[in-house]
Chains A and B, each alone.
Chain A
Amino acid sequence: MSAAAIDVRDVSMWYGAFQALSEVSLSVKQGGITALVGPSGCGKSTLLKCFNRMHERAGNTRITGRIEILGHDVLAASVSVHELRRHVGLVFQRPNPLPLSVLENVTLSASLFERWSKEELHARAKDALQRVELWDALKDRLGTNALSLSLEQQQRLCIARLLPLKPSVLLMDEPCSALDSRSTQAIEELLRSLRGEYTSLVVTHSMAQARRLADDCAFMLMGRLVEAGPTEQLFTSANDPRTRDYLAGRFG
């Protein structure tokens, strides 16, 4: 449980001439929830997207350093981004289910990679929907358009659709920022219940959420990683004064 799931060594990243990350090094424990906190524009979302190489879609990016996930270099030229994303799932800030039925949303990912029998796909979808506690609410309307669900259900669905691929890492980019407090609580509970099975990395604006949710925390500022460690330790006795000031709400 304590082996590193993600190991980041001296990663720097540029969008064109703008340097978004500077020599970031970080080790993420397997099976835990790690929160990335920091003010807007500090590079936490960028770092997250590097883990499944979604940053490349921005075009004109350059990255140096080394990112290992489960011991494999994900920046290597031989890596297929499609296979990588199958193992490293991403949940977006705004729930973005595809304009398909609930069932199709959950089965799409698996059917992109292999041909499955209808029964097999359905069974996988059922597993995934049960895992995020949507099955009971939606089992009779699997054919409805996913965009007609509530925002919370949509975000649950966005997590569920990653699960049939049996990913090892779940990346979440402020997964609750579009939700109200009750839904936020529900999603947090869901994330806690996934702990152990999946290594989760959660980018969040909310220090309270980081403290409630995360086993470990990493604080970033202006493209640099300032400090990382167990959440309680970081919140109560951070080494760096900037970390202390930010987590105490003195700036941000």
Chain B
Amino acid sequence: MFEATEKTRGRVGRSHVMSLALGLLTVLLAAPTLIVLAVLVYRGAPALSLDFLLSPPRAGMTAGGIFPAIVGTFYLVGLSLLVSVPLGVMGAVYLTEYARPGRLLDFVHLAIVNLAGVPSIVHALFGVGAFVVFMRLGTSILAASLTLAVMNLPIVIAATRESLLAVPYSFRQASWALGASRAQTVWHIVLPNALPGILTGVVFAVSRAAGETAPILFTGVAFYLPSLPNNVFDQCMALSMHLFTITTQVVGVPESYPAATALVLIALVLSANAVSVVLRSRHRKNRRW
């Protein structure tokens, strides 16, 4: 009486087909990433060398390397994080731990969500108006970094807020009941437990700061500079911008150059990702909730 009938066999069979199909689709999701990487490696490999990484472009950018662009990207990403992470984290802490619910809070939320939806070219125009012209920073690393920071602020705030809210309320209660102030509770209990989520947001901010071209186009990045920047008021080159330039604006660039440049850009972003994965997994080992 427990043997499979025709009907049962049909059901089981369909279930197998379904899981196979879904499995295949899932594998397909990974395909674009792998194909992009494979194509870049294949096409960019001939150009990649230590010299390519460590020397400036030569001969009207048709030869030489991308060193100034790498340095510029580091400047821009670093400086923009220096602004967006502390501001974003502190803002999110205020919004979740201190602010009283009400109209004003709703309004601020709405503003932040909308800021996240603003296209990057609009941020660029804002950057020109606010930093380059109004604050008289000129087209400079500082102005470009601040523009990137404004663009990344909502990402950092959203990621931080979400991870703060994920910390169980009972931890806060326990801490308050011991006589801890709000600030002590945030510092000793809430922030350490929210760190992995905040890191995820920071890495996303790194990717965007490194990859976006529009916000830095008018605010501080040059097509070509003969020398490295001396300070934050100089202009700089950047990988994303350089990629655009040698792909579309310059004639006679070796075919492998754009691919190699893209590969370096991706490698930088991925290594930021890897660092955060390591930090997070190390943190998770100590976590039991």
Contact = CB atoms under 8 A, between A and B. Distances in A.
A147 B178 contact: no
Contacts of A86: 178-179
Interface stretch (B88-96, B149-157, B168-176, B221-229): B168-176
Interface stretch (B60-68, B109-117, B128-136, B180-188): B180-188
Contacts of B286: 99, 145
B56 to A, nearest CB: 50
Contact of B171 (A84, A99, A112): A99
B241 to A, nearest CB: 44
Given A96-B170, A147-B288, A112 B184 contact: yes
Please classify the interface of chain B as helix (H, G, I), strand (E, B), loop, or mixed, using the class held by over half of its residues: helix
Interface in A61-92: 81-86, 89-90, 92
Contacts of A83: 179
B103 interface: no
B178 A94 contact: no
Contacts, number: 65
Interface string B83-113: 0000000000000000010000000000000
A59 B288 contact: no
A223 to B, nearest CB: 23
Given A99-B193, A99-B288, A92 B181 contact: no
A215 B14 CA distance: 68
A120 B175 CA distance: 21
Given A57-B173, A112-B184, A99 B287 contact: yes
Please classify the interface of chain A as helix (H, G, I), strand (E, B), loop, or mixed, using the class held by over half of its residues: helix
Of A90, A94, A165, the most chain B CB neighbours within 10 A belong to A90
Contact of B180 (A82, A84, A158, A162): A82
Contacts of B35: none
A199 interface: no
A147 B289 contact: yes
B144 to A, nearest CB: 40
Interface string A129-171: 0000000000000000101100000000010011001000000
A54 interface: yes
Contacts of A179: none
Contacts of B100: 59
A145 B287 CA distance: 8
A85 B289 contact: no
Interface in B188-209: 188-189, 193
Contacts of A161: 178
Given A145-B286, A147-B288, A85 B176 contact: yes
A98 B179 contact: no
A112 B178 CA distance: 9
A108 to B, nearest CB: 7
A99 B191 CA distance: 12
Contacts of B289: 99, 147
Contact of A92 (B170, B180, B184, B288): B170
A116 interface: no
Contacts of A162: 178
Of B175, B179, B180, the most chain A CB neighbours within 10 A belong to B179
A82 B181 CA distance: 7
A200 interface: no
B102 to A, nearest CB: 11
A97 B174 contact: yes
A232 B146 CA distance: 72
B182 to A, nearest CB: 10
A54 B181 CA distance: 12
A14 interface: no
A98 B189 contact: yes
Contacts of B171: 96, 98-99
B29 interface: no
B288 A54 contact: no
B288 A112 contact: no
24 contacts: A54-B176, A57-B173, A57-B176, A82-B179, A82-B180, A84-B179, A85-B176, A85-B179, A92-B170, A92-B177, A96-B171, A96-B174, A97-B174, A98-B175, A98-B189, A99-B171, A99-B193, A99-B286, A108-B175, A108-B178, A112-B188, A158-B174, A161-B178, A165-B179
Interface of A: 52, 54, 57, 59, 81-86, 89-90, 92, 94, 96-99, 108-109, 112-113, 145, 147-148, 158, 161-162, 165
By Cβ-Cβ distance, the 8 closest A-B pairs, closest first, are A147-B288, A85-B179, A109-B178, A90-B177, A86-B179, A96-B170, A82-B179, A96-B174
Given A82-B180, A85-B179, A148-B288, 7 more contacts: A52-B177, A90-B177, A96-B173, A98-B189, A99-B193, A112-B188, A165-B178
